[in-house]
Amino acid sequence: MKRLVVEVRPGDYAIARLAADAPVPADVFEAPGLVSVTRTPDELSIVCPTTSVPAGADVVEGWRLLTVRDPLEFTLTGIMAALSGELAAAGVGLFALSTHDTDHLLVRASDLGRAVRALTESGHEVATP
């Protein structure tokens, strides 16, 4: 696995769940930072800064965001497997998602120090704000 640069992004994040037929609340896009909206037949799932949590959602707060720096080519394989494996070996749970350009990991704020150590000890560079 090639050495990656992983950035710890500022701010606290939440993972929210709404009913599958709920409209996407426009105000989740107002705060700066990552927002991810995923609709399945069973739910509307929103990852957003804690300051933008939609009203009425089932919410799990207390997450920190780690983002792989630089766009990743679609031909690259094993990025998420390597990072999640390294975190799992350190006992750090995660919530993973990918965008067109890169991969993102959310870890519990209480696990951030262990996550940074695990990634650093695995040979990755971790940039903190």
CATH number of the domain at 5-127, out of 3.30.2130.10, 3.40.50.720, 3.40.5.50, 3.40.640.10?
3.30.2130.10
- Predicted pLDDT at 22: 98
- DSSP code, position 102: -
- DSSP code, position 55: T
Q: Quick one: pLDDT band at residue 3, thresholds 50, 70, 90?
A: confident
Q: Quick one: pLDDT band at residue 75, thresholds 50, 70, 90?
A: low
To the nearest 10 degrees (0 to 180), the angle between helices 79-89 and 112-121 is 120
Q: Quick one: pLDDT band at residue 77, thresholds 50, 70, 90?
A: low
Q: Which amino acid does the sequence have at 33?
A: G
User: What residue segments make up the domains of the chain, in order of their start?
Assistant: 5-127
pLDDT at residue 106 tops 70: yes
pLDDT at residue 1 tops 80: no
Q: Which of 5, 102, 116 is nearest to 64 (CA)?
A: 116
- DSSP code, position 111: G
The answer to whether the beta carbons of residues 102 and 40 sit under 8 Å apart is: no
Summarize pLDDT for 10-48 with one digit per residue, the tens: 999 999 999 999 999 999 999 899 999 999 999 999 999
